[in-house]
Amino acid sequence: MRLILTLFIAGFIVSLSSCRKDFDFEPSSGNLRFSRDTVYLDTVFTNIGSSTYTLKVYNKSDNDISIPQIKLGKGVDSKYRITVDGMTGDDNRLFENVELLANDSMYVFIEVTADVASANPTDFLYTDQIEFGVGTGIQKVELVTLIQDAVFLYPQRFDDGSTESITIGEDEIYGFVLDHADHNDEYHFTNDKPYVIYGYAAVPNGETLTIDPGARVHFHESSGILVGQGGAIQANGDWSLTDAQENQIIFEGDRLEPGFADIPGQWGTIWISPGAAASSFNHCTIKNGIIGLYVQNNPAGVSIKNTQIYDHSLYGIWGQTATITGENVVVNTAGKATLNCSFGGNYQFTHCTFNNNWPSSSQFAVAIDNYLLDADGNPVPQDLILAEFRNCIVWSSNSRAFALFKNSNAAFNPKFDHCLLKFNNTGFESDPLYQFNDNVFYVNIVRNQNPNFWDVTRNQLNINDNSGAIGVGKPEYTALVPNDILNVTRVGSDAGAYQNAAP
């Protein structure tokens, strides 16, 4: 028995000693492998933090190693910050004796916040390196990001700690009134630098915000533009000659990384409030907000031409007792409707494309009604003077691309004239709102013929020779808008904003 016990103890000690090497770390010999030799952090605005980027570090040897140092080349002055395997080290810039098991890997997470003054003045690149090891054993991974200068517009902060706000009805929202005296006149957005807006930039009575061709306007979370009673916005873009859209006015969020390009809900809305003066949007792209354009009770009207409105979490265009005209407008993907003509109003769209592929079963491309519900759930009617669609496409991933909601106590006058529509009328055969041969709501429409858009997910709603929209339009309406949204001369009368062409 004693012999067996002795052998057991001896065997246990041997087993301990044989496992011991799992806890012996030898200095790194400089043979680390990396998932990339250069990490490119996408463009950021000056002094706005980047997204987090990932570098993977591999120990391909059969030995556990200890990396004496992992640090940023510019040390404590670096504008980059790193996290190593969940550790923050010394101010996210220096790490010592980092252990890495044999044939294992670890993650390094990288962020940057830098101003344009820190960048190379010739190309505006800000660079640094992550250094692994010490002395002659150092291995480096390069870090590169482009810093873009901008004009920043935001509410003032007062001495008592409060911030500037603007009043809407009985509510106050985080925002400010534009000022002629600041930034070479805040009522004139040029294309010299991008504009980054925090909160709502307000255009008050008697003022007009004028935006030049090629301007870029970026909004932080919960931000936008508010055009007040008697104010106006004139967004005067122009035709562009290249894919860079050099003369297009672009409204979008302030995250420039490609991963944010099509993410809805990043900012608020461009809000045309009741009683605003006549406003216009020409050659614009409005994308990734909550509502692209929110237009309320404005008899003076809003004109939208040659404009693309994409990827909004609620509506692309929401008109509420609004007066809106549109030509060559493309609206794609929204959480509820790409176009919502609500609580009456007066609307006319010619050669426009409305499509909604939002991943749900309840969204529409176009929704039209002539009432709203009060706090008690009772309908409040309002005349829909006209909601006319001429030579348009109304399409959706759902079986019914549009919806009509009528209150009999107010005028209700939708009209689809020479349009391509998607609507499966199963269950609606006797509904008076969907009698497609009535020549009142529907005039020479084509139904359920696939428009064959190029690529809906990439907002390419162009059509080609296989499209069901070919020749659907009325020539008299085409004569009013002879060039399509790309400035291509229309041949024939294809419905929608695009003349058909090969992809």
Where a domain ends, among 148, 179, 198? 148
CATH code for the domain of 48 = 2.60.40.10
Residues 136 and 202 in one domain: no
Residue with tokens 């490609």: 258
Domain count, the chain: 2
Q: Per residue in 44-74, is it b (16+ CB within 10 Å) or e — as a string?
A: bbbbbebeebebebebebebbbebbbbbbbb
Query: What letter would DSSP give residue 276?
Result: P
Q: Is residue 476 part of a domain?
A: yes
Residues 69 and 137 in one domain: yes
Residues 40 and 93 in one domain: yes
Residues 139 and 180 in one domain: no
Contact 225, 271 (CB under 8 A): yes
Residues 430 and 408 in one domain: yes
Residue with tokens 């500037």: 164
For 303, list phi and psi in degrees, rounded to 5. -105, 130
Among left, alpha and beta (phi > 0; psi -120 to 50; other), residue 76 is alpha
Token pair for 292: 């692209």
Q: Is 363 helix (H, G, I), strand (E, B) or coil?
A: coil
Token pair for 110: 């990288």
Among left, alpha and beta (phi > 0; psi -120 to 50; other), residue 475 is alpha
Q: Is residue 12 part of a domain?
A: no
Token pair for 115: 């101003």
Q: Is residue 428 part of a domain?
A: yes
Q: Is residue 45 part of a domain?
A: yes
155 C-beta neighbours (distance < 10 Å), count: 19
Contact 391, 416 (CB under 8 A): no
Residues 423 and 388 in one domain: yes
Q: Is 475 helix (H, G, I), strand (E, B) or coil?
A: helix
Residues 352 and 447 in one domain: yes
Give the type of residue at 36.
R
Residues 197 and 49 in one domain: no
Rounded average pLDDT per 10-residue block, the chain, 503 residues = 48 45 65 94 91 95 94 96 95 96 96 93 92 89 95 88 84 94 96 96 97 97 96 98 95 92 96 97 98 97 98 98 98 98 98 96 96 95 98 97 98 98 94 94 98 97 96 98 97 96 81
Where a domain ends, among 97, 123, 148? 148
Q: Is 285 exposed, middle or buried (0-12, 13-18, 19+ CB in 10 A)?
A: buried
Q: Is residue 155 part of a domain?
A: yes
Task: Write down the pLDDT at residue 122.
Answer: 84
The residue ranges of DSSP E strands in 160-290, in sequence order, are: 165-168, 171-177, 188-189, 195-197, 200-203, 208-211, 216-219, 224-227, 232-236, 249-253, 270-272, 279-282, 284-287
Contact 352, 371 (CB under 8 A): no
Q: Which residues have C-beta within 8 Å of that of residue 485, sequence separation ≥ 6?
A: 306, 308, 328, 329, 330, 497, 498
> In whole angstroms, what is the distance from residue 256 CA to residue 225 CA?
20
Among left, alpha and beta (phi > 0; psi -120 to 50; other), residue 328 is left
Q: Is residue 19 part of a domain?
A: no
Q: Which residues have C-beta within 8 Å of that of residue 417, sequence separation ≥ 6?
A: 388, 389, 390, 391, 443, 444, 445, 474, 477
Residues 133 and 172 in one domain: no
Residues 363 and 436 in one domain: yes
Residues 211 and 80 in one domain: no
Q: Is residue 438 part of a domain?
A: yes
Task: Write down the pLDDT at residue 14.
Answer: 45
Q: Is residue 180 part of a domain?
A: yes
The β-bridge relationship of strands 195-197 and 151-153 is parallel
36 C-beta neighbours (distance < 10 Å), count: 12
Residue from 118, 74, 105 nearest 92 by CA: 74
Where a domain ends, among 90, 115, 148? 148
DSSP H/E element including 387: strand 384-390
Start-to-end CA distance of the chain, whole Å, equals 86
Assessment of whether the complete model's pTM goes beyond 0.85: yes
If you compute the radius of gyration of the chain from its CA atoms, what whole number of angstroms results?
30
Residues 212 and 93 in one domain: no
Q: Is 117 helix (H, G, I), strand (E, B) or coil?
A: helix
Range of the structural domain that residue 95 is part of: 24-148
Q: What is the DSSP string of 40-92?
A: EEEEEETT-----EEEEEEE-SSS-EEEEEEEETTGGG-SEEEEETTB-TBTT
Q: Looking at the DSSP assignment, which residues form a beta bridge with residue 393?
A: 353, 420
